[in-house]
Every structure is written in C-alpha cells, then in structure tokens.
Amino acid sequence: MSLRVEIRRRVGGEAGFRLDIRLETTARRIALFGPSGAGKSLTMQAIAGLLRPDEGRIEAGGRVLFDSARGIDVPPRARRLAYLFQDYALFPHLTVRQNIGFGLTRGWFNRHGRRPLPAAAQRWVEAFRLESLLDHYPAQLSGGQRQRVALARALSTNPGLMLLDEPLSALDADLRAQMRRELARLQAQIEIPTVLITHDPGDVDILADEVFHVGQGRIQGRGLVRGTGPWRDAQSREP
C-alpha cells in the first residue's frame, strides 16, 4: 500500500498550533511517533476524514481521499478506514454483540436484541475468542477484552487501512506487552496496512516497519524498523 499525506491546518487562530505534515511511504506498517501535542492525532484524524485540512492532499492505496485544489473530500464512512480510538469508543449501553455489529446493518440500537451477527463480523468474534462475551456490556470487560471487541468492530467493515490511535496506552505494563504481541500477530494474519500512533518505542519496534517522528506539527525524521530499532538514529534527520 502507498500512503501520501501533504496537509496544512492551523488550529486555534494565528497564535495557535500549525500542522504542516508531509510524508510518503509504501510500508505496510507505519508508526507516527512523538510526544503528546506533537500533531500525531490531528494527522490521523485528517486521514480518517474527521479533521478537514486547510489545504493539501491525502492519498491512500492510489485513492485520493482529500484534495483541496480539486475540491475532493471523501466522507469518513466512504473512506473504507477502520479507526481504533485510544479509549476504544465502545457504546456502554450496547452489548458486545451490538457493538461489533454497529454500522453493518440496521437495528443494532435495540439493546435487548440477540440477532445473529453477519458473517463479516462473526469471523472476528471467533478470531478474537469473543463468543462467550457477546451478551456482556463494556463495563463487564477487562481492558484486553474491550480492545478485542473494538478491533472486531473495526475489522468487520472490511477496511482498506487500519488507524490505531495509542491502542495500548490505557493498559498496564503486563497487559500492554501481551496485547502488543497479539496486535503483531493480527497484523501478520490480516495483512491490512496499519498506521499506528504511539509515544512508546516498544510499540514501534514490534508493530511498525517504518516510523515517522512527529514534533511541533511537522515530520522531523523517519527511519526503517529492523528488530533492534535502528530507527532511533533517524530521529533528528529530516525525511
């Protein structure tokens, strides 16, 4: 997959934050790495269509998602992207079954419904071993279970690109290491390209092939990830 992002956006007026991102890659697993407030989430939101840049162009897999010069701005639901939010964004009043089925068919807002899930969703229920949890609510789940539910919901839409916004940050150290390994296995299994936001070098080492260092709204360096993490040497180099 190819991903090309060249966008500019000012947030908060003339004295506010300026996002000026330029990146291009053919890597299948991409990481946006940097501290909080660097512009990583704004970049991800622009790719997903949740934030409209002031100007620029976004292209994924040869498909133009945004082009200010040509007046193109594909709606979020039509971009075929899966977005896994940091807090997983599960609906607390819906069961696991209804959360996973949300958006695939109508009628999932019936909180008492026990309808069978469509085949596209059932595949991921089985893959993530969620069968026994389908009638549970998010408050009854562990952090790892909530993450698997959110992943199943995202993958059920058959996305062309998965966006992972700090998916491990809310977990304790042991569970973080476990879910990092599970995510890596998932990446190998489904072969869907991923863009990962993280500030943890351990996430980059395991979950990315190429990393872009984001700071003060710009790409400040890039590097390839090869096992022991030589990408750290590229932190101060301009892409």
Mean pLDDT, the chain, rounded, equals 86
Q: What angle do CA 30, 35, 36 make, to 5 degrees?
A: 105
64 is a domain residue? no
pLDDT grade for 155, boundaries at 50, 70 and 90: confident
151 is a domain residue? yes
Give the pLDDT of residue 239. 46
130 is a domain residue? yes
Lowest-pLDDT choice from 12-21, 112-121, 133-142: 112-121
118 is a domain residue? yes
25 is a domain residue? no
Q: Is the pLDDT of residue 38 over 90?
A: yes
Region 22-45: what's the mean pLDDT? 94
| Count of residues in the chain | 239
Q: Which domain holds residue 149?
A: 90-158
Q: Which amino acid is at 219?
A: I
Region 103-119: what's the mean pLDDT? 60
10 is a domain residue? no
pLDDT grade for 236, boundaries at 50, 70 and 90: very low
Position of tokens 């991921």?
124
Region 90-94: what's the mean pLDDT? 92
Render 208-224 in DSSP notation, one character per residue.
Answer: -SEEEEEETTEEEEEEE
Number of domains in the chain: 1
Q: Which amino acid is at 232?
A: R
Q: Which amino acid is at 146?
A: R
